[in-house]
Amino acid sequence: MRTQVAIIGGGPAGLLLSHLLHRRGIDSVVLESRDRDYVEHRQRAGMLEQGTTDVLRESGAGERLDREGLVHRGLELRFGGAGHRVPLTGLTGRTVTVYAQTEIVKDLVARRLADGGDVRFEAEAVALDASAPSVTFRSGGRIRRLECDYIAACDGFHGVGRAAVPGLRTFEREYPFAWLGILADVPPSTDELIYAHHDRGFALHSLRSPRVSRLYLQVPPEEDLAAWPDARIWDELAARFATDDGWELREGPITDRSITPMRSFVAEPLRHDRLFLAGDAGHIVPPTGAKGLNLAVSDVTVLARAFAERYASGSHTLLDGYSDACLRRVWRAEHFSYWMTTLLHTDPAATGFEHRLQRSHLEYVASSEAAQTSLAENYTGLPLA
């Protein structure tokens, strides 16, 4: 087998890259280790920056996003029994949109298959060669080899792509807490996201649709999911979201629950020879800043432009600059995600002095237009490189 760009990973990064390359007349093959049903139904949150929605629309993959996405022009910081709205659009002129990664994947799979794209499910990449580029993969009980000009590893944190890059420098931070996330069949109790700081821990009220709510609780990283029956989850959420004016949280049947650890991670560089890392293969952010999916979209947008230049003119300028261009945005997002995480979560090891500093910082952000503008600029997304 042969193609121009071999893409490992059929998540939003790999599928979007394949779609963007197709629109530029560049052939690709997507190798995804899981089956299609799993890929299209694994639950992932989705808070899209303005730039991400622009990329999807301009590529022709935003029709259902425009129809079903929930546009947000602000968010609420809640602490001390009161809410404080940050007017994202008023401060930046930009919006964010809630649209689950699950739905983006469904849209992109449908688009690639309708365009005749080669997306191979249950095709597990087991080895790759970045110099004489090829990917060895297992499919249908057979071992096959895909030769190519370039390899894009969009295969996540545990994939084979990053392991194939020699001499990587890695930077990592583990956080002393995790998120217990739930999906519930109940209309959201809010029109905009609520980020709540409480002495008992952080809580987030998000929205999946007009009929489905997505909520999160800070828990210890070693927490047992079995220790959280429905009643305990709802009681704890209500306590952390409580306000002095009697705001009420709607409750409903919980249909999905999971515990997600919190980590910051960056690998440098994002390129080795003809292998390029994109998305979670190269970097992880804690979810507080809503940057994971958006960084992946940024990576593959930059990479698609670089491949287009290479095939159109023979120039390697953008390919050679890919890692530096992406890492500048990655580190900005890493800092913002770290800032949001430490601003809002309760650190079990923090001293009383540190707790008072955190509360002072929250009060400053809630009262300062300059601080809110910085938050809004980063939350809605800086311009793509």
The yes-or-no verdict on residue 12 having pLDDT over 90 is yes
User: pLDDT tens-digit profile of 257-300?
Assistant: 999 999 999 999 999 999 999 999 999 999 999 999 999 999 99
> Given this model, what pLDDT does residue 383 score?
82
CA dist 70 and 85 (Å) reads 18
Catalytic residues: 72, 195, 287, 291, 379
- Taking the CA atoms of 251, 257, 263 and 269 in sequence, report the sign of the dihedral they define: negative
The yes-or-no verdict on residue 344 having pLDDT over 70 is yes
> Given this model, what pLDDT does residue 46 score?
83
* Structural domains of the chain sorted by starting position, each given as residue range(s) with its CATH number in brackets: 5-71+95-172+263-343 (3.50.50.60), 174-262+347-380 (3.30.9.10)
The yes-or-no verdict on residue 108 having pLDDT over 80 is yes
Q: pTM of the predicted model, to two decimals? A: 0.95
> Given this model, what pLDDT does residue 245 score?
95
Give 41's pLDDT tier (boundaries 50, 70, 90). confident
The yes-or-no verdict on residue 185 having pLDDT over 90 is yes
User: pLDDT tens-digit profile of 149-172?
Assistant: 999 999 999 999 999 999 999 999
Give 385's pLDDT tier (boundaries 50, 70, 90). low
Mean pLDDT of the chain: 96
The closest alpha carbon to 207, from 285, 290, 284, 279, belongs to 290
Would residue 221 be called left, alpha or beta, if left means φ above 0 and alpha means ψ between -120 and 50 degrees?
A: alpha
